[in-house]
Amino acid sequence: MSPPSAFDLPQLEEIFDALRRGRHLCAADGKPYWALRDNLTDYQDLFQYLGFHLQEHPRDFFYFRGKDNLSPQASRMAVFVFILIESLSDQGEPVVDTLMTRVFAISELPHLKSARYRAYLKEAGASGEEDMLKIVSSLERFGFVQRSTDESFTFRTPAYRFFDVCIEILNRDEIPSTEEQVS
């Protein structure tokens, strides 16, 4: 199999550079996203030929699928989002709707306000406000959030990858015990 001509693919350099750095491309990314969407099969073939797996998420965004194990940076981002999900759930808020529509002020986040959440963050290698800002910057760099201001952000469509993981964990935890299976 020979690769498609890279010269025929619009926005190739920008798309490849973004994806190989871990960015998730969605409609909010404009031209690169639409070039990818409109030429998906050609991009998938080319990237496959180069040793990359271009993944299309059901929520209509794209990323390179990597290894199943999380890097320390990815772990910190996941813990950050999981804490926010748990906090919203505990407050009885509609989690996904709230995450996808609210502007979050970093100073108002629950992450450093409870001992349990601070312990989660510490276990992931983050401990203070400076680390929180770094995590939000990482989330932005990878395309999961968009900064509204230096101190606030909104989630973008690719954040659904975190929601998928949460649902997977919840479903795994809801497997009936042996006693329940017998009755």
Strand boundaries in 6-124, DSSP class E: 53-57, 61-65, 104-105
6-25: average pLDDT? 90
Q: Where in the chain is the domain with CATH 1.10.10.2250?
A: 6-65
Q: How many CA atoms lie within 13 A of 50 on its CB side?
A: 16
pLDDT score at 178:
42
CATH code of the region 6-65? 1.10.10.2250
Cross-strand partners of 57: 61
CATH class of 72-173: mainly alpha
Please provide the average confidence, as pLDDT, over all residues in the chain.
87
148 close to 103: Cβ distance less than 8 angstroms: yes
pLDDT score at 83:
93
* Cα separation, 145 vs 100, whole angstroms: 10
pLDDT score at 7:
61
Token pair recorded at residue 182: 């017998």
43 close to 9: Cβ distance less than 8 angstroms: yes
Task: Please give the angle made by the CA atoms of 83, 86 and 90, to the nearest 5 degrees.
Answer: 140
Long-range contacts of residues 105-111, Cβ cutoff 8 Å, at least 24 apart: 105/151, 105/152, 106/132, 106/133, 106/136, 106/151, 106/152, 106/153, 107/151, 109/84, 110/83, 110/84, 111/80, 111/83, 111/84
pLDDT score at 174:
56
11 close to 31: Cβ distance less than 8 angstroms: yes
The lowest-confidence range among 21-30, 96-105, 119-128, 150-159 is 119-128
Q: pLDDT class for 179, splitting at 50, 70, 90?
A: very low
Residue with tokens 């031209």: 31
49-55: average pLDDT? 92
44 close to 54: Cβ distance less than 8 angstroms: yes
Highest mean pLDDT pick, 31-40, 46-55, 71-80: 31-40
The closest of 129, 181, 137, 163 to 59, measured between CA atoms, is 163
153-170: average pLDDT? 85
Examine the pLDDT at 91 and tell me if it is beyond 50: yes
Q: Where in the chain is the domain with CATH 1.10.10.10?
A: 72-173
The lowest-confidence range among 4-8, 10-14, 57-61 is 4-8
Token pair recorded at residue 115: 């001992």
pTM comes to 0.81
Examine the pLDDT at 66 and tell me if it is beyond 70: yes
